[in-house]
Structure 1
Amino acid sequence: MTHSRRSLLAAGATGTLALTAGCLGFVLGNEPLEFDSNRVAPANEMVAETGYEEQTVEERTMERSEAIGGVERDFEASIWTSSYSKSVDYMGQTREGSAFAAVSVPGMEVAGQSVNPLDDMSNEELLTEFLDRVDSNRGDIENIQHQESFALDILDDSRTVDTFVGESELEGEPIDIEIKLTSFDHEDDQLVLFGILSKRLADESANVELLMESAEHPVDN
């Protein structure tokens, strides 16, 4: 049984779970309560204009358990990830110059209690959580540090974007990396948008911001 962020269960005065939406299997502990998210993605026109190409569009399931009213129950959430990359000429070869990802996680609330493990994460923690979702030819990014924060108008509101810097390697050569990330709630989902690029590619920093500003949610899957 699938639901959005809306609260589906109420905790009775005795702490037991009371059925309010016909989810008997979940209340009895026989089946998980499922939550679906809607996909988020940059506008196709902006992807083409900035020279990016779509790499993957993936829906996967996150499973977890949480105590509700003192009773342990299982939950499943569908998470959408759309990833993009851009190739550039670098050191005489065509290489991946930058990457962008848009992630959507459903809001998960039961009996007024959030069961979304990402709710309390900072942008830096979300970066660690989702960094490997972007298809990239780079090695691991290390020594990640927060550099600055600024605002962008995304989905009809001002959103805080954090810029991080880190270090990586490309075929044994050290390179400095810039990462921009924003996260916010929209239409019952938690959205995470982020871009990764070499600091040598100054123009791509602006392109990542354009992709963020063009984000559409929900989009057709």
Structure 2
Amino acid sequence: MTSKRVVAAVLAVAMLTTTTGCIGFLTGQEALSFSAEPAVVDESAASSAGYSTDGPRVLSVNRTVSAAGQEREVVAENQVTTYRKTLDLGIFEADLGVFTVVSTPAVEIAGQTMNPIGEFSNRRLVSLVQDQYQGLSDVQEVSSQTITVQGRQTQVTKYSGTATVEGQEVDVYIHVTKYRDGEDFVVAIGVYPQRLGGEEENVLSMMRAIEHPA
């Protein structure tokens, strides 16, 4: 669900080429690599909420950049764990409950964080769900609250929107949060139909149960 958007963001690591000091990278003998640790939801919390997953998957991004007048390779590995829940809206049944946790390396060089995800607002992160819910439109902020995730306070923003699923327009709610844990940024996004208001607490309970590193 999030791969294209997150990959595009992480490609900004091209900025790091002037500050690395990695001899193998600068000579072209090896790629400069950054890897995120997996982030998942506690298994019992996901099960209680009715969601299931195939587990984390790695999204490797290879980018050829220019360093010292030469082309060099940078590799960034993101971890994506997607949870799905089949919901029945009466007219059709589909995986309408989607909860995704993304961990992406901060890419910190000389004390500076190069991954632009760190600067993204929750509103901008909403765009990451558009690969799953095609035609997402009319996104409006509804509310905001603070919850505790991994012992830290983090802001969760709730949005409303309209999505097209199975050729049908569905009004949805989107919950987004982001925080930094160690050397990674962790982003969690939950989406579900508005008519299933009870899903909000499921999404929040899964956010509270995020584990990183898994």
Question: What TM-score does the superposition give when structure 1 sets the normalisation length?
Answer: 0.78
Q: How does 1:182-201 map to 2 (within 5 A)?
A: 182-201=177-196
What's the counterpart of residue 102 of structure 2?
103
Q: Distance in 2 between matches of 1:73 and 1:115?
A: 17
**Map of 2:153 onto structure 1:** 158
What is residue 200 of structure 2 aligned with on the other side?
205
Contact 2:38 2:56 in 1 (8 A): no
Larger Rg over CA atoms: 1
Query: Structure 1 residue 172: deviation in Å?
Result: 3.9
- Is 1:24–2:23 an aligned residue pair? yes
Q: CA RMSD in A?
A: 2.7
Per-residue CA distance 1:160-191 (angstroms, 9 max, x = gap): 01111111233443221100010010021100
Query: What corresponds to 2:139 in structure 1?
Result: 144
Which residue of structure 1 lines up, in the alignment, with residue 116 of structure 2?
A: 117
Contact 1:17–1:69 at 8 Å: present in 2 too? no
Alignment partner, residue 15 of structure 2:
none
Identity rate, percent: 26
2:9 paired residue number: none
Distance in 2 (alpha carbons) for counterparts of 1:47 and 1:126: 22
**2:176 aligned counterpart, secondary structure:** strand
Farther-moved stretch of structure 1 (192-201 vs 52-61):
52-61
Q: Distance in 2 between matches of 1:116 and 1:18?
A: 15
Instruction: Give matches, 1:32-111, under 5 Å.
Output: 32-55=31-54, 57-64=56-63, 74-91=73-90, 93-111=92-110
In 1, the alpha carbon distance for the partners of 2:158 and 2:193 equals 13
- Code of the residue aligned with 1:145 in structure 2: it is Q
